[in-house]
Structure 1
């Protein structure tokens, strides 16, 4: 398997090593040299030197064995997320997915979808769920996505990271990063939040296994009413395992506009969002659900494209969909404060569908 990936990324060309945070930009002529090399050609001296300096890696073999060179894509997508399954081994009340059904594509469909994502130009791919590590085809999906030359991020609750079948795979073929959510710092609180007994012990066991193998960890500290008293302890837990952390305290409605998740909101920790100034959802990145239906993001799922049926060509429909979904309509149309609004239109629509308190997402609800 390849040691390095060379790929176009938006207006640049990157050289990356799977499992490492550091990468480097290379000029087009260097990328072109790698792409047009013959099968038996040795690694060029500039590459050998650069890789030795950056990662201490010795490339004393053929370029074809060391570097996977990604061709340019007509579609220009750089990132994507793939929701393997909505199923989960937890039952958290605040989950934005709502009902967690174990449904999705068979292996043939997933294989087709991953090739479409690759052909779209995606370099960074997030594997998420539900809980992706309990998906019966996780190892096959991960292995193919890695082989296709994508830098992989796994978003997980961490409870299955100690599974030898998973740990051996991601230790051998390392992800760019594993993002683990923290729901409590004690067994009592954590198990209460997940509504599953024994989850804290599995979570700690998974973290210990991943940390011991040197996998790159980052943490999402999720703050709700039931665990807010352990915020400092949850932060300390992230520090214990050597990963950066972000605090998430604004609870969203479900992807179906359901209000059931909002009852978990800790009003004390409700944060004022920064003004929304636009994003490239649907233009440079997209989301694929368990059925291979692509949307502009995880929130804006009102209109989707069937990538399994339509192939990579279907992605040409996403930019116009993004333009339409981002227009301030409904309860936000004509609002005098929309220039400083902290939520995008798709997210505001979910809050409105859930009949959420204005204070949870809108400036008109604040004193």
Structure 2
């Protein structure tokens, strides 16, 4: 099993350590040197051993390069990041969920295996595994293991309910993700179980969080603030301090991926916060999203005109950049807006809000409290 990943990303080259969010940038000629060294044989060079020891306390002195390094080859497609939705199914029934109908459906393993090789060939280095709840998918361990072996840095988005499972714990400790991101839905049993609509979910979450923390896994908590749990927002953030984890916050409820409005009623309207202006993103150009059926799209929000990676393969990704550019163009009620430079909502998300007939003040930053533009 490799100790380090050596990979090109955009116009740069990096040395990465599985299980760590840190990385080192190296010059192009050093990348080519390591690539050649892995092929022809030899020890890890001294110019790399020193920085690796300082960065990760990893001593590679007198270590064969081919045993320690996994060198990723450049890809003409340049999609360095991807999110892969293994399944829309979940063991919770959260009121705010943006997925809408949570159907247990997806690819068979042989197709998933082909998909992961396609993502590797597309240049994907940072892979986010999500759902639904990805850890309940029957192929999760196989998908995770193969992605790791192909030289991907893995993040798992999870509700944490199964992190105490011995098989998963062994998987994560022997093939470490660079981040486990756990969603937090409350700070007490009553509130947490109420929002997830699953009795016992709080106990499973706390058990998983505790076990993962004791195992030294890299944790991050996403505090989900809704009408049901807004009174526990500070207490949810305090969980991060208690377990030594970074906390981030999500408080703007989105329509479902189908443009449904059912998730919007969970919005804590008194907790709406002003967001930074949207200035563009790399979605569709250097990153992409893949749904449970192997359909590649610009991102989790912009799913129009998907490309089947199962039938078209990697060649289909050549169209994704053009699809992204069209999706990000001003459209509908936003076309011609003179205040667009200070708008905080991207066009694909604004389109979902309009489809859900959401109040303007949920997504248009140029309205007053009455929802008038």
Q: TM-score range by the shorter chain?
A: over 0.9
What's the CA shift for 1:311? 1.2
Cα distance per residue 1:241-285 (max 9 Å; x no partner)? 111111111000000000000000000111122111111110010
- Contact 1:337 1:363 (C-alpha < 8 Å) held by counterparts: no
Cα distance per residue 1:130-184 (max 9 Å; x no partner)? 0001111000000000000000000000000000000001100100100000000
2:29 corresponds to:
29
What's the CA shift for 1:307? 0.8
1:88 corresponds to:
90
Cα RMSD of the aligned pairs, angstroms, is 0.9
Q: SS at 1:257's partner residue?
A: coil
Find the partner of 2:356 among 354, 360, 363: 354
Distance in 2 separating the partners of 1:333 and 1:40: 58
TM-score by length of 2: 0.97
Distance in 2 separating the partners of 1:345 and 1:86: 24
1:47 corresponds to:
48
What's the CA shift for 1:337? 2.1
What's the CA shift for 1:40? 3.3
TM-score by length of 1: 0.98
1:242 corresponds to:
244
Find the partner of 2:71 among 65, 69, 72: 69
Q: SS at 1:363's partner residue?
A: coil
**Is there any run of 5+ residues in structure 2 with no aligned partner, and where?**
none
Distance in 2 separating the partners of 1:71 and 1:232: 45
Distance in 1 separating the partners of 2:142 and 2:13: 28
Distance in 1 separating the partners of 2:210 and 2:303: 36
1:14 corresponds to:
14
Q: SS at 2:311's partner residue?
A: helix
Q: Structure 1 segments of 4 or more deviating over 4 A? A: none
- Contact 1:132 1:155 (C-alpha < 8 Å) held by counterparts: yes
- State how many pairs are aligned: 367
1:149 corresponds to:
151
What's the CA shift for 1:365? 3.2
1:297 corresponds to:
299
**Is there any run of 5+ residues in structure 1 with no aligned partner, and where?**
none
Distance in 2 separating the partners of 1:336 and 1:46: 54
What's the CA shift for 1:219? 0.8
1:123 corresponds to:
125
- Contact 1:249 1:269 (C-alpha < 8 Å) held by counterparts: yes
2:336 corresponds to:
334
Distance in 2 separating the partners of 1:159 and 1:366: 40
- Contact 1:39 1:63 (C-alpha < 8 Å) held by counterparts: no
